């Protein structure tokens, strides 16, 4: 692990295993090239994130990309996250194009240029798979947040990622099922298991991730109020629990909580900060919304 520009950079154990396998099989130069491609891919994310003022604590490098730990990730605007996500695969586009151009000019031999082009295509395309924590999985969540609540976005992002990573594991066994198969695709199996276990843990941590989202709402609410935005109302009954109302919050929206009786009479209108603060202060998930204004 090294610290550079205030960011802790580390190599995931899965990448270490790939390194050892490459040394044993004589593909060390190819490994260094792969490492360089992954590093530049991740630097693309970091540079754009820093441009938006994000605080990045740590970046873990994997054979197919990296995972960045960002402060206040629950309160980051969707548009900014989309730009940061796309910045990684865009690095693979220019690196692949540069390798192709160097091959065409004769400055690199065609075999090596072809390898670098294919490596960039592989890393870039693989990262666009809609599986967390890949870039495609993060972009999936950005798109889901346009239609779903934040809590639903977390749930469906995890479910889709679990389903697709399980499919990747099953696909790794496909060669031995076919007649004359060559055996299990070990690389794909290892990556599939890693992604499945990562998303299994992510799914279990959704309550914590949602709590982190709520703790970031104060800063987000202040930004909305200072800038001046349309408030999106959330209509609930007095019987609604605070937790149920909070799970109706959407990303990049400022909410007013309209508490209404069954006959349609408005009992109270609460700013979202009242709801969030009421939950964070006592942490009672089953507390009724009406307790906040009685």
Residue of higher predicted confidence among 122 and 66? 122
pLDDT of residue 79 exceeding 70: yes
pLDDT tens per residue across span 14-72: 666 666 655 555 566 777 788 888 889 988 998 998 898 888 888 877 766 677 778 76
Q: How far apart, in Å, do the first and last CA atoms of the chain sit?
A: 53
Mean pLDDT of the chain: 83
pLDDT of residue 249 exceeding 90: yes
Using a cut of 0.75, tell me whether the model's pTM lies above it: yes
pLDDT tens per residue across span 216-229: 887 777 676 767 77
pLDDT tens per residue across span 129-143: 999 989 999 999 999
pLDDT of residue 159 exceeding 60: yes
291 band by pLDDT with thresholds 50, 70 and 90: low
């Amino acid at each position: 692990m090294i610290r550079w520009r205030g960011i802790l950079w580390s190599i995931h154990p899965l990448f270490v295993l790939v390194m050892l396998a490459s040394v044993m099989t004589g593909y060390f130069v190819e490994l260094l090239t792969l490492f360089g491609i992954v590093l530049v891919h991740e630097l693309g994310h970091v540079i754009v994130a820093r441009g938006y003022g994000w605080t990045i604590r740590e970046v873990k490098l994997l054979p197919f990309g990296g995972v960045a730990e960002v402060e206040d990730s629950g309160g980051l605007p969707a548009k900014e996250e989309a730009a940061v996500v796309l910045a990684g695969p865009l690095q693979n586009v220019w690196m692949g194009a540069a390798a192709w151009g160097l091959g065409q000019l004769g400055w690199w031999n065609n075999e090596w240029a072809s390898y670098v082009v294919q490596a960039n295509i592989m890393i870039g395309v693989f990262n666009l798979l809609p599986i967390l924590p890949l870039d495609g999985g993060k972009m999936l969540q950005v798109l889901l947040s346009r239609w779903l609540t934040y809590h639903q976005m977390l749930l469906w992002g995890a479910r889709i990622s679990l389903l697709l990573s399980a499919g990747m594991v099953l696909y790794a066994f496909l060669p031995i099922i076919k007649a004359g198969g060559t055996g299990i695709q070990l690389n794909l199996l290892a990556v599939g298991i890693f992604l499945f276990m990562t998303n299994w843990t992510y799914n279990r941590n959704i309550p914590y991730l949602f709590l982190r989202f709520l703790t970031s709402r104060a800063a987000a609410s202040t930004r909305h109020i200072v800038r001046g935005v349309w408030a999106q109302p959330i209509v609930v009954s007095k019987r609604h629990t605070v937790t149920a109302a909070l799970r109706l919050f959407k990303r990049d929206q400022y909410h007013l909580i309209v508490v209404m009786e069954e006959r349609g009479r408005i009992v109270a209108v609460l700013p979202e900060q009242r709801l969030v603060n009421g939950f964070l202060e006592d942490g009672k998930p089953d507390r009724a919304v009406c307790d906040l204004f009685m």
